[in-house]
Amino acid sequence: MKKLIFCLPIFIMLASCAHLVKSNVLVEFDLQTFNEQRQLWQESNTKNYLYHFVARGFRSYDGIIIISDGEFMLDRPFNNNDNIGSFKGEYTTIDETYNRIERLYNAYNDKEFSKEDFYFTKIWVEYDTVNHIPITIRYWYKQPKNIMIDGTFYFEINDFRVSEDVLLGRGSGPSYVAARAAAMRDIRNQFVAILRDINSPSFSNEQYAINYLSEMEEFSRKISNMDLSKAVVVDRREISDDMWWVLVELSKSNAIEAISLILIGQSESFRDFVLAMFERALR
């Protein structure tokens, strides 16, 4: 009886500590394909592009991400309640997406966890082997019993589009026509912004003011009526019963041509000056 009394606490202690025993976890992941596709993406040196990003889970998002010079520029969610903020630095460029997958793999692979820990067991990635980007990302995980996990473990990247040498116009409205008109205004506003830079003190000097001030006023008025018929709708979505979203693009060569047309009738020197400034701004 004494032995039983002596051994019972030891048995209870061992049973209660069993859940704390840790073991190495190997995350199932095709690291070779990941590294190959990532290297091909980096070698493509693609810096200006956009894609439809979907995140499903506790944090959600459904919208367009636009990247300029390799950096996140802006987003356009299809659902007004979505906020890209929680995904910045993680999935707001293709490079960030690759880095995020790698960080999560390294954080859990070949690390020790107990039955009471949360950890990843599998990372599955599907690739677009033409553009060399991840298009579906899924994370499988192990969670402790009776513990609720809040997270986002499913992501999609669709409609990837390279936007080198184009201007992008984005617009929304209660109809397709209204949204398209808003997208065209967005492109015109980009011309106005360039014009504003040309008129800034860094460009201005006394000779410029004497020679071009009146002509610049005339040119400014013409921008609102410039011909953007060569702008092409590249994406249109009915995001709700009473709201459309439209994306249009205008090649930079067509943009310069549109500028040339509204410069007809103005002095040759002014025309050459403006075209040189716009070509430099659109480079």
Q: Round to the nearest angstrom and report the end-to-end CA distance of the chain.
A: 90
pLDDT-based confidence at residue 11 (cuts at 50, 70, 90): very low
Distance, in Å, from the CA atom of 100 to the CA atom of 206, rounded to the nearest integer, reads 52
Most confidently predicted of 10-24, 119-133, 269-283: 119-133
Element (H, E) at 209: helix 206-223
Q: Greater confidence, 19 or 117?
A: 117
Q: If you average pLDDT over every residue of the chain, what do you get?
A: 83
- Strands (E) in the chain, as ranges, are 23-25, 49-57, 61-68, 71-77, 111-113, 119-128, 133-142, 152-162, 166-173, 232-240, 243-251
Q: Which pLDDT value is given to residue 4?
A: 39
Look at the pTM and tell me if it is higher than 0.75: no
Distance, in Å, from the CA atom of 125 to the CA atom of 121, rounded to the nearest integer, reads 14
Tens digit of each residue's pLDDT (9 = 90 or more) over 243-253: 898 989 898 89
pLDDT, average across residues 20-42: 91
pLDDT-based confidence at residue 2 (cuts at 50, 70, 90): very low
pLDDT-based confidence at residue 277 (cuts at 50, 70, 90): confident
Q: Which pLDDT value is given to residue 234?
A: 86
pLDDT at 30 over 80: yes
Q: Which pLDDT value is given to residue 216?
A: 81
Most confidently predicted of 58-62, 148-152, 161-165, 180-184: 180-184
Tens digit of each residue's pLDDT (9 = 90 or more) over 197-241: 776 655 555 555 556 777 888 888 888 888 899 999 988 888 777
Task: Indicate the DSSP class of residue 28.
Answer: B
pLDDT at 81 over 80: no
Domains (ranges, CATH) in the chain? 22-162 (no CATH), 166-281 (3.10.28.20)
pLDDT-based confidence at residue 185 (cuts at 50, 70, 90): very high
Q: Which pLDDT value is given to residue 5?
A: 41
